Structure 1
Amino acid sequence: MSEHPALHHEPLAALPLDRTAGRPFDPPAELAEIRRQRPLTRMRYPDGHVGWLATGYATVRTILADPRFSSRYELLHVPHPGGPGSLPPASPGDMSGIDAPGHTRYRRLLMGKFTVRRMRELTARVEQFTNDCLDAMERQGPPADLVEAFAQPVPALMICELLGVPVSGRDVFQRHVHTVTDRSRSLDEQGAAYTAIQDLIHDLVLAKRAAPTDDVLSDLTHDGDLTDAELAGLGAFLLGAGLDTTANMLAHGTFALLSNPGQLAALRDDPGLADQAVEELMRYLTIADPGIRTALEDVDVDGHLIRAGDTVTLSHQAANRDPARFPDPDTLDVHRRATGHLGFGHGPHQCLGQQLARVEMRVALPALLTRFPGLRLAVPPGDVPLRTASTIYGVHRLPVTW
């Protein structure tokens, strides 16, 4: 194997995290220069491990699809400063932190619950929840926090409906999910919130076993011989995956459109652009980042020898801004056909609920812009508080008026 230039450079001191002031939709600027010079380069992790950082689209996609790279928590080195030096193994039902065959078993059980057809059947419910939220905003009048009034309730109601969570318990679930994904909270707080979610789901599982209803969790209680612990873990996983990500896409996506009036007008005036606009917003914003994998054996990637035990941090946001894949990548263009973006990941761990997220965004964003054609920020863009300390990027609040 020939020597590669990246091996002659000192490892990066840390994962670039600082975004440029006044550019809330762009990845850290340093990532673009790293991608230009070395799409796969050595990087030092906070615990001292020297692994890798992947920033090029082709490289990230290749690693995501390769089963020789593991998602098992206990094998990963965490790239974020202040994080734990090591992670415990995944709890039963937590699909994010396991590999095949366990991951395959869970995914096969769930795939039939998240088909394109079933998600389309839920469109009417998404429309109802969306209109209910818009009606409440209209009654209350401007200004409003779009996160609280719209972006959080729509996906929260949908995922809770899908799982069969009682209306009375939905606010509690949402509060715990927010704590789990907030990197500014202590590990003890995050752990307590995750345990609380599992406990609440476990109680729900017992209720579904006793009296099943028409929802995914009830279906799972009778499929696949899952234990109560696995069912509770799967429920917690689905709840966390379905709430925070879509809520931040709705809020941050609206912020991006409000900051690009021409793109907002194009979508508002032609709701038929919704499909393309959703894919482009997923590419442009890439709010769930980064991914992490560890090599199970020696693997050659782009002429680099990644040795068994090496952790690779995968910057989806840098990959989705790679000019080798997307021309003029730093421009938001709702007319772009952004197929193949990595906003939902790729490979065995590609987002299971992506079809539900698409349905929610395709319905909710055009409905918002149609109902409030004069929608605009109620504060200067620089005063919108960003979720820079969260594993899911977005906004804490989005003050709007109309």
Structure 2
Amino acid sequence: MENNTANHDLKSGGKSTGPRVLLVGYNGANNTGSEARLLAIIEDIRSLLGPTVEITVPTLNEENLRRYLAEDEHLHIAPIPSIFFFAIDKLVKQHDLVLLVEGSCYMDTWTSALLWAFLWATNRAHHHNKPCLAYAVDAGELSSLNRWLVKREASKTDLIITRTRHAMEKLQKTGVTAPITSTADCAYTFKEEEDHDFLNRIWPESSNGVVGLAVVDFSLWPVVIRPWGRKKDLYKWPYYFSRSTERKNTREKLIEGWARTADEIIKKHGKSVALICMEELDHPLAEDILGKMKNKDQCRIISSGQYNASQMTGMLSDLDLLVTSRYHAAVLSLRAGVPQIAVAHDPRLTSLYQDLKLYQDYFICHDAPNLWEDLRRTIDLLLANGDLEKDMLKEGLQEQVTLSQKNRILLGEFLKEKNISSLK
């Protein structure tokens, strides 16, 4: 595949008008959380380095990225191939600063390839003597090989800012020797457009109130690397979703459980149900859940493949209750104080719910033996009394926003230390 990485000097009329910053992350996946983070981080960079700072966003999916990121003379989109090593090396060499901007940075939950891309960017930055900063990222499960790689390569980062204390401690226990500090996720400072009452505008029939179910197909992950495979399992060559009888059974149980839960919410509480796809990849699961439901007319799929981060945040803010397997659904609904329950499958929601003091009563692991019974009981409890979490949500939001605002401060100090400033 041809390498189409951007030539910044040509795009800016033959000369650079500001420092060149490379943002390496999960960009262009139609993922609401990644979109909100990216836009918030661009705002942070411009506030510190001025409007003429040269920013490049590499992506495996240029078309999706252009849906929510407007390219201009100083903001560049750089398509890269699936086999990314040469392209990332070239981009790193062209820039003055490398930021790792993907929240799920130091984990192989989704695929080792994503982790390797971030570690490779760090490696190349170290090789080319370019400052490298991991910006409000997370750490999670790692295989033995990947734990060794993270220890070796992440230690070459100039500074790692984690979005939870748990992630910081995990990296330290892994043996990462780079300076590490913890704050909170960038999405807390995401400035959405005016999308108040958005849910009512797109779904006026739901005036009786809506419970949102932000679902994830746990059985899809991790994506594996193969030279070939079935077309229906292809994510983007050479990355394929893995399938097995066990995974198929897990998926079927997930579909049945969510469908039954949605029908109970509609029948028992008189609420409509939104099946929320925080990433476009969640949509097939949502379709299958809807297909199993008895009360399809009172349920609707709302997807990041159709709506941008501002619209999705507006929708989340209008819910009566959120049941989420997605980290950023919890984060982006928090500002509106929406009562929430986690059905979690990785450490990100675990850490967040511990920070919010919701872990003991409102957190359920996806493989809990009594998952659906526990979920039904907790839904009934919160729909009967939505104020039960009110104080915890308010206090948690204030704390997380305060921590999130430190990201920009730390970035400013880092830029000063590395002598990177706007060009006058």
TM over 0.5: no
Q: Write 1 or 2 for the structure with the bigger share of strand.
A: 2
Q: TM-score range by the shorter chain?
A: under 0.3
Instruction: Compute the TM-score of the two structures, normalised by the length of structure 2.
Output: 0.24
TM-score (norm 1): 0.25
